[in-house]
Amino acid sequence: MNPCWGRRKLNSAELEAGSATIWAVGFICLLTALAVGIGLLNGIFVAKVRAQSGADFAALAAAQTHFFGGTNTPCSAAEKVALENQVSLVTCSLHTSEVRVEVNVKTLSNWEVKAHSRAGPALSKD
């Protein structure tokens, strides 16, 4: 018996039948990967902005306490302000003319974003 018996040649339209489904699935996968990537980058950007503003506020609180007095120590004031801004204070160092702080924030993808800030009294030109 001939194995090709009963078979016919397929034309080009029949050979490409179903290829649009494969292209559509590939395009949907590409769009999904792009959306996830944009979402991750957006989360990192938001975390960076939150970390920087938390570092700025913590440095200002520490400088206010260090140079102008207060009930707490400068670094404990920075720690309190950092926690209120949902960031973690990593370092706090006091210098003669400024206070330096470093904070970090964990993103949803469990990455750490760090930010640095420093603050001190304005220098007068008298």
Six-digit token string for 37? 């990537």
Q: What is the pLDDT of residue 102?
A: 96
Q: What is the pLDDT of residue 48?
A: 95
Beta bridge partners of 58: none
Is residue 11 in a domain? no
Separation of alpha carbons 7 and 30, rounded Å: 38
Separation of alpha carbons 29 and 22, rounded Å: 11
Separation of alpha carbons 38 and 74, rounded Å: 39
Our CA angle for 102, 115, 88, nearest 5°, is: 55
Q: What is the pLDDT of residue 68?
A: 86
- How far is residue 65 from each of residues 13, 81, 102, measured CA to CA in Å? 79, 12, 17
Instruction: Please list the pLDDT of the chain residue by residue as tens digits (126 residues).
Output: 556 566 777 677 666 777 788 889 999 999 999 999 999 899 899 999 999 999 999 999 999 998 888 788 999 999 999 999 999 999 999 988 899 999 999 988 788 999 999 998 877 555
Is residue 63 in a domain? yes
Provide the number of structural domains found in the chain.
1
Q: What is the pLDDT of residue 67?
A: 87
Is residue 80 in a domain? yes
- Which domain does 77 fall in, by range? 23-119
Percent helix, strand and coil across the chain, each to the nearest 5: 50, 20, 30
Among 66, 62, 109, 115, residue whose Cα is nearest residue 86: 115
Separation of alpha carbons 73 and 84, rounded Å: 17
pTM, to two decimals: 0.72
